């Protein structure tokens, strides 16, 4: 690399210069040494084109290796990167751009629009565009000579998530937040330099984004795939790329299980999988371990406002099947009551997180929302800031976390306050069900179960009968709807709102 050295997020790039860092399905690859060179050249180009520390650089493309190059280059000069999902609609994109006010926009053929009022425009696409600079030209710039001055606690990244007001809000992560949590996660997951990490999640999703950092810190190869690969061709894609570590959400694993249940396929040689975003049903963990002998399954819990909260190691699963793991090293988690008072172990309440991974800068230019979620600790220090997650759960006597539900997901049915997780978990234990989601129709107090099945002989009556033998009466669904594919959000999670819309439209 050039004379710039590595600071902040740049310190996470630790792979051997000759080892592969990024690879794609078409056989292209980039080594760590090549990546370092491109990062320094892009960083130099950004500075030459007026990008300063604190400026925002939006990366709005489909999954592609240029995302990794761009975010390290932006971080290297103390600017702030913002990675956006290619599926963003113009209205949602406009809201985010209005907030972020980017100096630079990097797009591709799938995302570029003609009405962007941004100073510097870069295209990763194949089409030349008037007024746009080709990404290939930016990495042909002279190497970065010196690094602009920035501090480890300066903002490095904005991750936009849905706000309580319905508008997107940007979680502001510092270099310190990211480097601390990546190191803490790696100590649990133990990615290896000979691993190929399956990057099939959108890299705009923080779970997908952090696979770049986890691959970098371990010297692994990140296979940059397309989220559209999660489907019938998934096993072949994983096998061809020789993926050994697969980060996913429950819909990814449900797809694998369903494929194998309908017609056994040649499976890739996975050594470990990780899950977050939504709870991975216990039945899925058992089925995956049967499908992949020797597989290590890591159950994780986190939220954008601090990235990762807890990880359950594979060897802990047998004795703690209902848990979402222990808090990361150097962090603390506890439950509080409605008044914000700390509860004893075993008492359920709202989960609160403390540690260097808590995004102490809060939400980008949203002080009121920041004050609701990020509250000062007793001594007023940054290290004691408490993140009120809005998630319900408790910590047991052994220090393991137990998750009940996102506060927004809880609902009342027949006078009882219910979490959908327990119902969905039991549904996936029903032989023949590979995925399940519960939706309540509040207007008539009817509980609907949507399910994907591997056996056409499975009936609604048999499902309800089985659930009635396992669940309390108020938790037994009133109706079952079999669907071929569970709808997914842009980040690959089950889209509960889409199912509710199906009911409203009479399609359920």
Q: What is the pLDDT of residue 3?
A: 39
Q: Evaluate whether the domain defined by 230-407 bears CATH number 3.40.50.12780.
A: yes
Whether 74 and 9 have beta carbons less than 8 Å apart is answered as: no
* Encoded tokens for 21: 């860092």
Rounded CA separation 286/291 (Å): 9
CB within 8 A of 469, min separation 6: which ones? none
The CATH number given to 8-14+26-174 is 3.40.50.980
Matching fold, domains 230-407 and 410-504: no
Rounded CA separation 348/306 (Å): 21
Q: Which neighbouring-strand residues pair with 96?
A: none
* Encoded tokens for 426: 């039991």
> Is beta strand 120-123 parallel, antiparallel or unpaired with respect to 104-107?
parallel
Rounded CA separation 429/281 (Å): 8
One pLDDT digit (tens) per residue for the chain, 508 residues: 333 457 899 999 999 999 999 999 999 999 999 999 999 999 999 999 999 999 999 999 999 999 999 999 999 999 999 999 998 888 889 999 999 999 999 999 989 887 888 999 999 988 778 899 999 999 999 998 888 999 999 999 999 986 544 578 999 999 999 999 999 999 999 999 999 999 999 999 999 999 999 999 999 999 999 988 988 889 999 999 999 999 998 888 988 888 888 777 778 889 999 998 778 888 899 999 999 999 999 999 999 999 999 999 999 999 999 999 999 999 999 999 999 999 999 999 999 999 999 999 999 999 999 999 999 987 778 878 999 999 999 999 999 999 987 766 777 777 676 778 889 888 988 989 988 999 988 878 899 999 999 888 899 999 999 999 988 888 999 999 999 988 988 877 888 889 988 888 876 6
CATH among 3.30.479.20, 3.30.300.30, 2.40.170.20, 3.40.50.300 for 410-504:
3.30.300.30
User: Where do runs of H (alpha helix) occur along 458-495?
Assistant: 460-468
Q: What is the pLDDT of residue 305?
A: 96
* Domain segments of the chain as ranges: 8-14+26-174, 230-407, 410-504
Q: What is the pLDDT of residue 407?
A: 67
Query: DSSP 3-state assignment of 259?
Result: helix
Q: How many residues does the chain have?
A: 508
User: Where do runs of H (alpha helix) occur along 133-205?
Assistant: 135-138, 175-189
* Encoded tokens for 417: 């306050």
pTM (predicted TM-score): 0.86
Whether 328 and 337 have beta carbons less than 8 Å apart is answered as: no
Q: What is the pLDDT of residue 318?
A: 92
**Which of 363, 405, 411 lies closest to 163, judged by CA?**
363
Q: What is the pLDDT of residue 164?
A: 46
**Which of 321, 303, 297, 282 lies closest to 189, judged by CA?**
297
H helix or E strand, kind and range, residue 6 = none
């Amino acid at each position: 690399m050039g004379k710039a050295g590595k600071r902040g997020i740049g310190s996470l790039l630790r792979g051997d210069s000759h080892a592969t860092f990024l690879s794609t399905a078409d056989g292209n690859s980039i080594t760590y040494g090549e990546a370092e060179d491109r990062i320094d050249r892009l960083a130099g180009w950004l500075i030459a084109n007026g990008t300063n520390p604190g400026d925002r650089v939006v990366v709005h493309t489909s999954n592609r290796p240029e995302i990794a190059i761009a975010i390290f280059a932006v971080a290297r000069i103390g600017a702030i990167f913002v990675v956006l999902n290619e599926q963003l609609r113009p209205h949602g994109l406009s809201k985010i751009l209005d907030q972020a006010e980017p100096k630079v926009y990097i797009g591709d053929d799938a995302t570029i629009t003609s009405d962007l009022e941004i100073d510097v425009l870069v295209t990763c696409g194949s089409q030349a565009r008037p007024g746009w600079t080709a990404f290939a030209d930016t990495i042909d710039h002279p190497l970065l000579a010196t690094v602009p001055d920035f501090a480890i606690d300066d903002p490095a990244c904005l991750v936009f998530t849905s706000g309580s007001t319905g508008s997107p809000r940007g979680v502001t992560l510092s270099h310190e937040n990211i480097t601390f949590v990546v190191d803490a996660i790696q100590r649990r997951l133990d990615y290896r330099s000979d691993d190929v990490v399956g990057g099939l999640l959108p890299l705009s999703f923080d779970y997908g984004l952090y696979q770049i950092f986890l691959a970098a810190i371990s010297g692994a190869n990140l296979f940059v795939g397309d989220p559209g690969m999660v489907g019938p061709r998934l096993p072949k894609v994983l096998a061809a790329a020789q993926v050994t570590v697969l980060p996913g959400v429950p819909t990814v694993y449900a797809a694998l299980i369903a494929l194998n249940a309908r017609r056994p396929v040649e499976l890739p040689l996975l050594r470990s999988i990780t899950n977050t975003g939504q709870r991975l049903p216990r039945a899925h963990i058992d089925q995956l371990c049967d499908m992949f002998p020797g597989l290590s399954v890591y159950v994780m819990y986190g939220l954008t406002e601090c990235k990762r909260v807890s990880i359950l190691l594979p060897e802990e699963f047998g004795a703690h099947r209902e848990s979402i793991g222990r808090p990361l090293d150097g962090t603390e988690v506890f439950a509080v009551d409605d008044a914000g008072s700390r509860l004893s172990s075993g008492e359920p309440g709202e989960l609160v997180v403390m540690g260097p991974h808590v995004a102490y800068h809060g939400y980008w230019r949203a002080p009121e929302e920041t004050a609701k979620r990020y509250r000062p600790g007793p001594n007023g220090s940054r290290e004691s800031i408490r993140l009120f997650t809005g998630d319900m759960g408790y910590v047991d006597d052994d220090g393991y976390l137990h998750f009940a539900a996102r506060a927004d997901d809880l609902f009342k049915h027949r006078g009882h306050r219910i979490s959908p997780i327990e119902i969905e978990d039991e549904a996936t234990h029903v032989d023949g069900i590979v995925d399940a989601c519960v939706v309540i129709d509040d207007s008539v107090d009817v509980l609907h179960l949507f399910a994907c099945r591997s056996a056409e002989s499975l009936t609604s009556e048999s499902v309800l009968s089985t659930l009635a033998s396992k669940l309390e009466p108020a938790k037994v669904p009133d109706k079952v709807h079999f669907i071929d594919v569970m709808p997914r959000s842009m980040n690959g999670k089950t889209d509960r709102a889409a199912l509710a819309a199906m009911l409203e439209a009479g399609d359920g």
